[in-house]
């Protein structure tokens, strides 16, 4: 396993419509292991493959986020099959570190995917986990959490993040 550098939100790979995974081979399993390690080290709740520069439909998410036990699960070719409710909640992203905003999300989701053994899996989630699943799902479609905010709010956050990047360079 290896840590992989996380791309920031200005990298074009974060805007990619990610490709369907056709083969679950050794390379994909290594990718999944590395994504899990990178998420735990960040630390983060989830990570999509394009955040480390691989535009494929795979993400990892900590299913134990609402408990005190980590449970990182890899979802391949995921699809949200049902959504219910709506709530505002604070959200951040490993590709936009230290920037948070209130984002509207469904309160409950049902998601289907394929696991690393090629088996169909289905999960129901609510609360913060439901939010995380919607957030990671958006990454696979080239969407960032601030896209749903108004332009003014988004520009303020972008400026804040650019300033931070500049400070790091100095
Ligand atoms: Zn993110």
How many angstroms does the Cα of residue 39 sit away from the middle of ligand 1? Answer: 11
Q: How many CA atoms lie within 13 A of 158 on its CB side?
A: 13
CA distance 12 to 15: 5
Q: Would you name the residues annotated as active-site residues?
A: 136
Domains in the chain (CATH in brackets) are: 12-169 (3.90.45.10)
How many angstroms does the Cα of residue 10 sit away from the middle of ligand 1? Answer: 12
How many angstroms does the Cα of residue 47 sit away from the middle of ligand 1? Answer: 7
- pLDDT tens per residue, the chain (170 residues)? 799 999 999 999 999 999 999 999 999 999 999 999 999 999 999 999 999 999 999 999 999 998 889 999 999 999 999 999 999 999 999 999 999 999 999 999 999 999 999 999 999 999 999 999 999 999 999 999 999 999 999 999 999 999 999 998 88
pTM: 0.96
What pLDDT is attached to residue 1? 78
Please, which residues have CB within 8 angstroms of residue 36's CB and are 6 or more apart in sequence? 1, 60, 72, 74
How many angstroms does the Cα of residue 117 sit away from the middle of ligand 1? Answer: 25
CA distance 18 to 56: 5
DSSP string of the chain, one letter each residue = ----PPPPTTSGGGG--PBPP----HHHHHHHHHHHHHHHHTT-SEEEGGGGT--BSEEEEETTTTSSS--EEEEEEEEEEEEE--EEEEE--TTSTT--EEEEE-SEEEEEEE-TTS-EEEEEEEHHHHHHHHHHHHHHTT--GGGGS-HHHHHHHHHHHHHHHHHHH-
What pLDDT is attached to residue 170? 80
How many angstroms does the Cα of residue 167 sit away from the middle of ligand 1? Answer: 22
């Amino acid at each position: 396993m290896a840590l992989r550098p996380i791309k920031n939100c200005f990298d074009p790979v974060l805007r990619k419509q990610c490709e369907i995974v056709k083969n679950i081979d050794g390379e994909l399993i290594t990718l999944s292991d590395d994504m899990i390690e990178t998420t735990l080290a960040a630390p983060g709740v989830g990570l999509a493959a394009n955040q480390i520069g691989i535009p494929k439909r795979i993400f990892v998410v900590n299913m134990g986020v609402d408990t005190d036990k980590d449970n990182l699960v890899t979802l391949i070719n995921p699809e949200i099959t049902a959504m219910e409710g709506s709530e505002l909640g604070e959200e951040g992203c490993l590709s936009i570190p230290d920037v948070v905003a209130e984002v509207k999300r469904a309160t409950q989701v049902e998601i289907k995917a394929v696991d690393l053994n090629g088996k169909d899996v289905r999960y129901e989630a609510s609360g913060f986990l439901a939010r995380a699943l919607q957030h990671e799902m958006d990454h696979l479609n080239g969407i960032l959490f601030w896209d749903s905010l108004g332009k003014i709010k988004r520009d303020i956050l972008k400026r804040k993040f650019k300033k931070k990047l500049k400070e790091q360079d100095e």
